[in-house]
Amino acid sequence: MITIENLSKTYGGTSVVRDISFKARPGRVTGFLGPNGAGKSTSMRMMVGLTTPTSGTATINERRFVDLPNPGREVGVMLDASAQHAGRTGRETLTIAQRMMGIPASRVAELLELVSLTATEADRRVGNYSLGMRQRLGIAAALIGDPQVLILDEPANGLDPAGIRWMRDLLRDYADHGGTVLLSSHLLNEIEIIADDIVMIGQGRIVCQGSKTELLQAAGTVVRSPDSERLHRALVAAGIAATESGDGAFRTGAGITEVGRAAHKAGVLLTELRASDSGGLEDMFLELTADTQRERTAA
């Protein structure tokens, strides 16, 4: 299990990750989503000890990554498949990992077969690999220690459709056998297919989290006001749970009438009050992260 509690990171006066908390549980694939610059990569680097948090904790099976005696045996990590030694062969890359972890040498051949790298490809220098081949090698390196937890950043990047389907089946099988998978990807359709849970981040804050089924199927309301703080207080006072999606907008599971009544009682001006669309993960992603997108969709 991955447990994130009040995790924050500040560089100078800039907050990159702001007090995020969530859990990625065994037997489930958790999709970790957000626009470019939302704080995903920084969060994942803090999880595996590459970046020191300003505050908060990130633990894997109740211990920090840096405190794990043999990290590769407990958590497999792939944050950048291109960050591999270009002068080594694929087989050498896995052999070094195998020796450092103290696992049988036969594991190298097993993983090369699992990720479909041929003997010829395995003996080729990584600098001559395609992006898709580096992705396969990175996944093999993450899995070689037979860990209980996987943390993967854009693992489908560079894979063709057949490779994406292979990766999806691999991770689904891993989770179905009790493993914990935290998966970051911009391929929202793939996340919608494979993920059990969703954690969505925007401008360093979590804007949405929960099971995929609940998030995509729940009926609800989108409400917006020029005074988002007053609107939020009005919703809280009425016992209505809501998630802020930026620009004064909130998404809630309550009905339109209930939300409108709460706003009217508090004297809050509304500029939008409508039923929440159920257009899939992509629509939900674009709506909840609208204020962090470089591109703006015309109304």
**Helix 90-101, helix 106-114: angle, nearest 10:** 130
In CATH, the architecture of 213-292 is 2-Layer Sandwich (3.30)
- Mean pLDDT in consecutive groups of 10 residues from the start of the chain, 299 residues: 95 92 96 89 94 95 93 93 88 95 95 94 94 92 95 88 90 95 87 89 88 70 88 90 74 83 93 74 71 52
| Structural contact between residues 251 and 186, judged by C-beta atoms closer than 8 angstroms | no
The pLDDT score that the predictor gives to residue 187 is 79
| Structural contact between residues 24 and 44, judged by C-beta atoms closer than 8 angstroms | no
The pLDDT score that the predictor gives to residue 73 is 94
Strands 197-202 and 29-33: parallel
The pLDDT score that the predictor gives to residue 298 is 43
What are the extents of the domains in the chain?
Answer: 2-202, 213-292
| Structural contact between residues 99 and 80, judged by C-beta atoms closer than 8 angstroms | no
What is the CATH topology of the domain spanning 2-202? Rossmann fold (3.40.50)
